[in-house]
Structure 1
């Protein structure tokens, strides 16, 4: 246990400089691009899923929340909302960068999520056309988002430090758990549990991804980097990881059935793509 704690602490502390620089750069990009991205989504119309898939990949923590506000405000369609949720990766990119994952791998996963988001968005528009069509935008809708962005009330540097420490704590806790379990059970036994039972890995990973917190994407990413889960479960979990978007949706929307529809659609689509990736033997 002591060795697991020590190894996890050392490995986690090594990541802090990379996380800080990554969040600092991401914060700058977010401040520069957030307004343009949100305006593009609001004006997307029938090609909303395309813009949603592209802009959802922008590494900013508030974009999925903004999409939820837009959906509740009847500005975007269900298909566009789903495409944004699917392409959003929450904390995946900072962890990949801090772990010095090959650029080719990172780009492949991000591009895959964008394409999946676009395709799924249009499929949702087709299958749920009665609710997915662009709804009437209220004349008095201004588009202001409570608490939008990630830098409210704090300087960019302070916010980057806070976010880095927050993710670092999650990484440390998850690393300790993984190390303890691996030492007790064995890496091969754990991997075979996910890989030997068809669909189970994708179902479980997607459930973890639904947690409306950055911990979800941290868990999925760390399990993938540790080799515990394969590409299929990893993709299912990350596709479901919409950050605080689902939390905002459930809090702001007054129609629980719509919330269940969105969450259920997101889960089924994420599991379906994960299974497809696993069956086809796709790796990143």
Structure 2
């Protein structure tokens, strides 16, 4: 989110039969993947609707944090095998387009400035696991299970899992999870570094809202640029990182939120950030 983002952009999110958007806090939007009968497994419609919905919320000034979760008993069980946008008999270009729908979800979550909290309820498997990994934070319910199940069907993580996992849990653990398809559940998700906390299922959504609201209280421009700097940290050298940090710091120094923070410090009070 940038200072000139459109405050009404959230209203332009596409109408969808497979996801819902609701507002749980003044500056927090929650996206629910809404295919509960399939444990919110991806079909083409869900893949195509999710990206523009994320983009619309990211452009909305009033939205400073997003929660992504699944309706019912699952976060996202992977791919709906009865309704998937790719198959082995496609030519390479068609296959790239089909797999690109999954990759677009991960790239959008990583590239947007608004922080995203995954509230992982139930299964997050395969592509669903990678969607959760692409979020900035993961809070797990006690019944949550995450797994890179691609190897079980003779696949590799095609939508970013092999890129994301080493950054989150380290190379050795990432290889173990990917090469064995190991299921990690409940408190073990915290022990593996896959989730920041594990809470009772009945407390999951409230906990996610509380944390997202905490993020939403911060200065949005600084948070967006901080996310960008951290996301690229493993891909650039220190000199480039310093250049990008200087540019970002300069941008932040010219915001009203920076002025408000300085003034609040001088007056010994909490700052009230507006995103400008």
Which has a greater percent of helix? 1
Point out which structure has higher relative CO (alpha carbons under 8 A, 6+ apart): 1
TM-score (norm 1): 0.28
TM-score (norm 2): 0.29
